[in-house]
Amino acid sequence: MIGFGDSIKADDLVARGDNRGTRINGADWATRSPVLATNGMVATSQPLATQAALDILKAGGTAVDAAIAANAVLGLVEPTGNGMGGDLFAIVWDPNTKKLHGLNASGHSPKGQTLDDLKAKLKAKGLDAIPGWGVLPVTVPGAVDGWFTLHSRFGKLPMKENLAPAIHYAREGYPVTQLISYYMQRSQPMFEAKFEAGVLEEIDNYRKTYLIDGKAPVEGQIFKNPDLANTLEAIAKGGRDAFYNGPLTDTMVAYFKRLGGALTKDDFASQHADWVQPVSTNYRGYDVWELPPNGQGIAVLQMLNILEGYDLKAMGHNSADYLHVMAEAKKLVYEDRARFYADPNFVDVPVEGLLSKAYAEKRRALIDMKKAAKEVDPGDPILGHGDTIYMTVADKDGMMVSLIQSNFRGMGSGLVADGLGFMFQDRGEQFALDASHPNAYAPGKRPFHTIIPAFMTKDGKPLLSFGLMGGDMQPQGHVQIVANIVDFGMNVQEAGDAARYYHTGSTEPDVLKRMTDGGELQLETGVPQAVADALKARGHNVSYSKGPYGGYQAILRDPETGVYWGASEMRKDGMAAGY
C-alpha cells in the first residue's frame, strides 16, 4: 500500500552545509513524519484553526462541523487568504452513503450590471481590464452560504458552537504568526498605493480593521477584530439569513451603493450554493476526484491523463525528463483551461471530451521530449458529443472533508463594509471582457475560479483528502502530489515537503495575453542545478524562486486499519493534529 512507511530512501549522509539537522529515518529532506490518529484528524494552515476543529470533533461534532469551525477561525487568523467575504468549495466523503458529494459555494456578479455597464465604469477610471481592487471585481460572497449548506446536510452541533472559537479569538485576540505577519505587511503599502491611484474607493475601513496604530501587525503581536466577532455572533444567532437577507445585508448593500458598486439586496438574497457531482479520472488504478467548472479542477485530471502515458518513476523524481513532461502537459492543458472553463449555467463546458483518454492521447502526441513548446493552441475536445486556504478534516465515523476557501488575490478587494470586520473578495477580476469568450462577464454569472479541493479513492473506498492552495499553482500542485504518492511512493508528509516546480505564463482565462514565449519554469532550490541546466538546454526559461508553490494539507485513511495519516505544509504556519 502506497504512503505507509515505504518512503523514499534518504541520500547517503554527506556534509551539506545547509544548516539542516539529520532525520533518523524517512526522507532526509522531509520536515517531519506524518501525524497518526484513529478518532479524528485535522490539517489546516494555522495551528489555532487546527486545534479549534479538533475540539469540535472531541465535543461530538462531525467532520463538517469541525471544518466550519476551522474555516471561521482561519478567516480571522489568516485574513491574507480567506474570510467571510470570499467563496468556498468542498468535497465530502459520506460514510453513510459511501459516496463523494461536491459543493460549489461561489458567488455571482451583480444581476443589474451588464458587460457594457462594466466597461463604461472601467473607462471612466481609465482602466482597460477589471482591477483586483475596489468595487468592480467584487462578487457575492459564497462562504457563509457554503457553511450553512454543508451544515444542514452533514452537521450535528449547533452553528453557535461551531462559530464559538472564531468569536472567542476575534474578541479576545490572538498572536499573529510569522507568515501571516509577512503577508499583512506586504498588503498595506499595496492597498495604500491603490487608494492613492483611485482604484480603491476607500481605505479607512481596512485601516481600522487590520492595522494596529496605523501599521500591519508584526509576528507575535496580539490582534483583535471585535467587528468580526459581532458579525459572527449575528450569524450564529440569526442563521444564514442574517448575512444574505437581514441587517448585515443592509449594511453591505448600503456600503456598495455609497462607493458606486452594483451589488444589491436581491443579489445577496438570490445567492445559493449548489451540490455538484465530483468528476474523476483513473490514474494508474487510483481515482482522482475534482469539482467541475466554473473551477479549474478538471485541469488536474487532464494533466494526469496526459502524464499517464509516461513512466514517471523511471524518469526519476524532479529529473529533467520528469519536469519537462510536467511543464509541457501543463502548457497544453492551460490553453484548454483558458478557452473552455467557465460557468456551466451560461455555457456548455465539454467536460466529457476534455477528460477523455482519447483526447489526452492526441494532446500527448504534441509533446516533444527534446524541446520546450513556446506557443500551443487549445485542443478540440468535442469527441462526438466544456491567495487561499486549504484544509481537511476527518472524524471517527469516517467522514472526510476536503475544503478550500479564498478571497482570491491577496487579502481581497481592499473593501471592508462598515463595522463588519471582513474584506470582500475580488474574484470578478477573472472575468473576460470579450463577449464571445465563455468566461465573459455577464449579469448574475459566476466567474472562472482557481480554488479546488481534491480527493482520491481506491476501489471505491476513501483514500486521500487533499489540496494545495495558490492560484494557478493549484492544478500543478495537485498533480505533483498525486505523482509523489502514486509514482514515487512518498508518504503524505513527504509528498508535500518535496521540492516543487511552478510554471507561469500560460494564457489566462481572461485571455488578455496569449503565451508566446513558453512561459517561465520556476524551481525550488531542492532541484539540482544540473537539472535546471538540462531544462534550459531544451528551451525552458528556468529560474529558482521562493514561489508561489502553494500550501498543502492532506489526510490519508488506511483502508484496512482506518488509521488517519495527517500532513501539513512546511511552507505555511500550519499543523496537522489528531486524537
Question: Which residues are the active-site residues?
Answer: 388
Query: What is the DSSP pairing of strand 388-394 with strand 400-406?
Result: antiparallel
Are the beta carbons of 566 and 492 closer than 8 angstroms?
Answer: yes
CA distance 169 to 229: 8
Alpha-carbon gap, residue 74 to 80, rounded angstroms: 10
Here the cell at position 112 is 443589474
- Report the C-alpha gap between 434 and 438 in whole angstroms: 9
Residue type, 45: S
Residue type, 557: R
- Strand partners for 391: 403
How far apart CA 516 and CA 328 sit, in angstroms, is: 14
| DSSP output for 67-131 | HHHHHHHHHHH-TTT--TTSEEEEEEEETTTTEEEEEEE-----TT--HHHHHHHHHHTT-SS--
Identity (one letter) of the amino acid at 22? Answer: T
Tell me how far apart the alpha carbons of residues 544 and 193 are, in angstroms, rounded to a whole number: 29
- SS3 letters across 328-377: HHHHHHHHHHHHHCCCCCCCCCCHHHHCCHHHHHHHHCCCCCCCCCCCCC
Q: What would the DSSP string read from start to end of 162-219?
A: HHHHHHHHHHH-EEPPHHHHHHHHHHHHHHHHHHHTTSSS--HHHHHHH-BTTBPPPT
Does an H or E element contain 47, and which?
Answer: helix 47-58
575 forms bridges with which residues in the sheet? Answer: 44
Give the chain's end-to-end CA distance (angstroms, integer): 23
Helices (H), 438-561: 473-486, 492-497, 529-537
Compute the chain's Rg from CA coordinates.
23
List b or e across 89-123, with b for residues whose CB sees 16 or more CB atoms inside 10 angstroms: bbbbbbeeeeebbbbbbbbbbbbebebeebbebbe
Residue type, position 183, single letter: Y
Q: What are the Cα distances from residue 414, in Å, to 256, 408, 555? A: 13, 11, 33
**CA atoms 328, 332, 333, 339: torsion sign:** positive
What residue has cell string 514515487?
Answer: 488
